Structure 1
Amino acid sequence: MTDVKADVEYKINFNDNAFLLDHKKFKLLEGILNTGSITDASKLIDVSYRTALNYINKIETALNVSIVSTSKGGKGGGGGAILTPEGRSILKECKKINAIMQLHRDVNEIETVVSDIDEDKGVMELTKNDLSIKIPLDRSYALGDNILALISYDNIFIMLEPSTSSIRNIIDGKIVEMKLDGEVIKVRIDVGGVELYSFITLSAEKDLNLTIGKTVYIGFKAMSVATLKL
């Protein structure tokens, strides 16, 4: 598993309780799982044994659940430790969040406004400049709310012509930059006065004959847009 940044926090919910688990505490739980020892796990994250116990106590108190089970003996004659089923479940959630963050580390961030709500169709419209984005209806949002829309580079498709499909958002734009990024090409497109990025393969770039200044259509599903109220 690829490590996440040290300042990342995982919001863990358990039986109506919540706790923000930072990277060190996540690595502590992972260390206990792998070593069977709180002492060894604390060394891996460069904290004292007492600090490690304090981390565990904070998590258990906040979530009102036991996450580590200790026993006498263990490796080298010291005390052993294992994660409880609840502790394993919490660690699993952290790893899932980590995997999602790695998968979607390249994300377009667009500050928009809720400009329309269609209760009958179950959709909302977010706008910025001349860009309009359709997303599923979220009743926690109201007209005029400022919303941060997040769209992964990988979720934006580039087309030469608009097509009829399940993709709700199909918008014309102009390519303003193309840059090789490892094994893919990072394409920057001006769409309604907003610049969005898309990743495409080298073969797709050749098939579409893309060039800077070329007019194209981008498409992304309504469900692929994550939102956050500002």
Structure 2
Amino acid sequence: MTDVKAGVEYKINVDGNSFLLDGKKYQLLESILDTESMTESAKSIKVSYRTALNYIDKIESALNVKIVNTTKGGKGGGGGTTLTDEGYSILKECKKINAIMELHKDVNEIESEVLDIDESKGIMTVKMKQFEINTPLNRNYKVGDKLLALISYDNIFVMLEPQTSSIRNIIKGRIIEMKLEKEVIRVKIDVGGLNLYSDITLSAEKDLNLTIGKEVYIGFKAMSVATLKL
């Protein structure tokens, strides 16, 4: 079973209905997929059978869809519980979120909004606080959609002057914190009221002569930004 951290919640949307699926309920759905048994799935997440049924009922009632099919065994047994297509789709979306978060363990999470979509260039313009950035185009999005943009710490570059390069997003900011994390310097930068983190090498920190309060520019490629629809 996939390891899910305590406190993790997945916002699921189905035809205008939404539900916050916590880690326990996610693991229940995953176990149903694997075991095709409500009894075994309840045991695997250490809840009673009745509690597991209650979890399913809450999800189905909130989303107004059926997420499991239950069959009763006759004389020879053979009953079980399986995910419906809708239930499997919900589980798949949660798995996608887990995969993105696993790839970006140290990640900046920024609430954003889609401002413009450029089909010809394959990019979107999204707004974060007081600035705008470019991200890869996701054709499932439309202008006005609320997103969570994810940018890994080690994908953000720190510069003393803005540079023209393959970096598509360049933003001016100010260093407000510096910490040694293992073998890198974790730099906290205030960019227009939004705090972003960048991991840089010890040699880069020395070459740039970085200090708290210093004005710098940060840059990152559009392709380094992952997005999730809120």
User: Per the shorter chain, which TM-score range?
Assistant: 0.5 to 0.7
Q: Residues 102-147 of structure 1: CA distance to partner in whole angstroms, max 9, x if unpaired?
A: 4445455789xxxxx99xxx786844xxxxx3347x9759xxxxxx
Answer yes or no: is 1:90 the counterpart of 2:87: no
8 A Cα contact 2:129 2:193, kept in partner: no
Aligned CA distance change for structure 1 residues 175 and 67 (closer, same or farther; 3 Å): closer
Distance in 2, matches of 1:192 and 1:66, equals 45
Q: Residues 149-199 of structure 1: CA distance to partner in whole angstroms, max 9, x if unpaired?
A: 976324421235421135232426458524134x65423346678764202
Which protein is bigger by CA-based radius of gyration?
A: 1
How is 1:54-203 mapped onto 2 (pairs within 5 angstroms)? Answer: 54-73=54-73, 77=77, 79-108=79-108, 126-127=129-130, 133-135=131-133, 152=151, 153-165=153-165, 166-171=167-172, 173=174, 177-181=178-182, 184-189=184-189, 196-200=196-200, 202=201
8 A Cα contact 1:4 1:98, kept in partner: no
Distance in 1, matches of 2:226 and 2:170, equals 10
SS of residue paired to 1:169: strand
Q: Which amino acid aligns with 1:177?
A: M
Distance in 2, matches of 1:12 and 1:124, equals 23
Distance in 1, matches of 2:84 and 2:29, equals 11
SS of residue paired to 1:41: helix
Q: Which residue of 1 aligns with 2:121?
A: none
**Structure 1 alignment gaps of length 5 or more:** 112-116, 128-132, 142-148
Pairwise CA RMSD of aligned residues? Answer: 4.3
Distance in 2, matches of 1:102 and 1:39, equals 30
Identity of aligned residues (%): 57
Number of aligned residues: 205
Distance in 1, matches of 2:210 and 2:108, equals 20
Distance in 2, matches of 1:15 and 1:151, equals 25
Distance in 2, matches of 1:97 and 1:194, equals 23
1:206 counterpart (203, 208, 215): 203
Q: What is the Cα deviation at residue 71 of structure 1? A: 2.8
Distance in 1, matches of 2:61 and 2:176, equals 53
Distance in 2, matches of 1:14 and 1:33, equals 20
Distance in 1, matches of 2:58 and 2:129, equals 40
Please, what TM-score do these two structures have when normalized by structure 2? 0.65
Aligned CA distance change for structure 1 residues 184 and 95 (closer, same or farther; 3 Å): farther
